[in-house]
Amino acid sequence: MLRWLSLGAVVLGVVSDFSFGKILKTASEMLTHYDFVVVGGGTAGNVIANRLTEDPNIRVLVIEAGGSNEGVQLLEVPFFSQDIYKTKAYFWNYTTTPQVALAGKSFFYARGHVLGGCSSTNGMAYTRGSAEDYDKIANITGDEGWSWDQLQYYIRKHERWSTPTASPMHFDPSAHGFHGMTEVSLSSVPHSIDEIMIKATEGNSEFPFNIDYNSGRPLGFGWQQTTITSNGRRDSSATSYLGPKFIQRSNLHVLLNHRVLRLLPAGSPGAHFNAVEFVEIVDGVVGPQHVITASKEIVLSAGSVGTPAILLHSGIGDSNTLSALGIKPLHHLPSVGQNFTEQPAVAVHWLVNDTNTSEQLRNNSLAAELLDEWENNKPSLLSAPPSTHLGFLRLPDNASVFENTPDPSAGSNTPHIELFISNGALLSPLPPAGNFLGIVAIGLTPVSRGSISLETSNPLDQPLIDPALLVHDFDRWALREALRLARRFVALPAWKDYILEIFGSLATADFDDDSRLDEYIQENAGMALHPVGSASMSPVGARWGVTDPDLKVKGVYGLRVVDASVIPHMPSAHTQAPVYIIAERAADLIKESWGIV
């Protein structure tokens, strides 16, 4: 019986290779040209690929540097999202430049290198940011289409809320889409801190409860919403937008394990880009090089690091800098790679009076049992990440820091700080004993601006990645305040029998002492991995920016950018939802340009 089944599957596989759209095995299977070439099969790129191929006459090629996500358990089990880090197999091998505000340390810089991009490797938190964040994008670009109200259609086109209605109503249904593409759900796993979180926040004005932080008004603490399916699987852009229903479209080709080197002009230098030069790279071994043309557009969706790097290697950037590197400048656009913005973050942990935390999984036989349950679609600790609640908080209006720095938030309903609550440690390596409460304090509205630039003219060399973490006084001020807020939060009476003591070097710290907190931050801070802004939108005709509000690269024909790099300011959010929302509208903008329905 089993033999028959597997034989059947093989035969079907062969048939589908010839008659349906597919994952190409080699570049030799490509058509001679496509209508659109999407560079990067990541979070945004797969949205574009899906929407454009809704029209059977439009032929789309996606070129993705990484391999397949198919059947990789590490990428499927939500709890394992923390472990993807340890293998590094599904990330680009990126390191930041030395960070001056963090004692000159360099950091591993995680970016997904697999179909689905970061959506295949991220923490799955689904947060949109505030309505004001989108209204600010509309204001910066002069395009009302980016406002919160006008994006509601695209939010719902993307989201498929999937928490069973029988579950507790820990969300506001009026804020959600139920018929979109990517599943969003509440945790199916109860945690002992759930009740404490409710008790601590109810009626508390400093740490209020918020039934749904995705309503456009995120302030307060709420239940975590994640891009996880109702049966406890990660839902990425690869599993949703390129799911089985879509990947078999005959007009969609996806080429894996091929890295784009640069974009090539059609003729008259710099005016029209219509070709993509790329090379096969499998397990680090560089193979043959190819060129493919796009008769309509190239859509650059290589992410906040990849997109500016490809533009620069193509001669699109600051002409003087490019010439100095030996790259022929084709189009002077000095903002490429500038304004790269990242959120600083630092974790703090407490030892707790409870064994019911994720540290239970130190017990290997329990971990094996739970994996078995997960495989059989039974909810278990592994069906959700260890994070349970997110708190979005504002600095007070009279905070002294505002005497020197204008408020960087998008408005009075927009948080500066996030406290990301975890029922277990987010420490690597995990201490051998003890149970933990973890809080990651995130600076959501950084003022520091970094950059993506090139060190050499070789597109296979990694770009210089400088998130400029905590360089601005405001960002250090906000992160110190975030640590104080975290400590005040767990000091609320609701936590009395639960919290034992603060863990690690803060145990003896005076939290009123700025220099002591700065020291802790210097030793322990990292980042949220939510970069934006490196190929920013700006108004039509602006002297800065990389794309117009319709995401076409300024002054160039045939080239658009659709990914996190176009977002002109940091939303007060984890960035996957903003990227999906922007990509859904971008697909319509592209269709409109070409009369595609």
Ligand X SMILES: *[C@@H]1O[C@H](CO)[C@@H](O)[C@H](O)[C@H]1NC(C)=O
Residues that bind ligand X (CB under 6 A): 93, 95, 139, 142, 190-192, 284, 335, 338-339, 353, 356, 363, 365-366, 369, 396, 398, 400, 497, 500, 544
As a whole number of Å, the CA-based R_g of the chain is 24
Site string for ligand FAD, 519-558 (x = CB under 6 A): ----------xx----------------------------
39-58 binders of ligand FAD (CB under 6 A): 39-45
Query: What is the SS3 assignment for 490-509?
Result: HCCHHHCCCEEEECHHHHHC
User: Does residue 117 interact with ligand FAD by CB under 6 A?
Assistant: yes
Q: Which does 139 bind (CB under 5 to 8 A by kind): ligand X, ligand FAD, none?
A: ligand X
Q: Which does 497 bind (CB under 5 to 8 A by kind): ligand X, ligand FAD, none?
A: ligand X
Nearest to 291 by CA among 271, 264, 328, 269: 264
Smaller CB separation from ligand FAD, 95 or 250: 95
Q: Which does 529 bind (CB under 5 to 8 A by kind): ligand FAD, ligand X, none?
A: ligand FAD
Least spacing, CB of residue 124 vs ligand X, in Å: 21
Least spacing, CB of residue 74 vs ligand FAD, in Å: 13
Least spacing, CB of residue 354 vs ligand FAD, in Å: 25
User: Are 348 and 502 in contact, with CB atoms under 8 Å apart?
Assistant: yes
Smaller CB separation from ligand X, 251 or 338: 338
List of E strands, 208-311: 220-223, 225-226, 252-255, 258-265, 273-282, 285-300
Burial 6-44 (b: 16+ CB within 10 A, else e): eeeeeeeeeeeeeeebbbbeebeebeeebbbbbbbbbbb
Distant-in-sequence, close-in-space partners of 210: CB < 8 Å, separation ≥ 6: 217, 218, 219, 220, 221, 222, 392
CA 572 to chain centre: 13
Nearest to 470 by CA among 478, 461, 459: 478
Angle at Cα 303 formed by Cα 468 and Cα 237, nearest 5°? 135
Q: Which stretch binds ligand FAD (CB under 6 A): 3-11, 107-115, 169-177, 487-495?
A: 107-115
172-231 binders of ligand FAD (CB under 6 A): none
573-592 binders of ligand FAD (CB under 6 A): 574-577, 579
Least spacing, CB of residue 452 vs ligand FAD, in Å: 12
Inter-CA distances, 452 with 86, 374, 390, 500, Å:
25, 40, 30, 43
Q: Where are the alpha helices (DSSP H) in 396-513?
A: 473-490
Identified binder of ligand FAD from the candidate list 21, 66, 216, 463, rule CB under 6 A = 66
Chain residues in the site for ligand FAD (CB under 6 A): 39-45, 63-66, 110-113, 117-119, 121-125, 259-260, 301-304, 306, 310, 529-530, 563-564, 574-577, 579
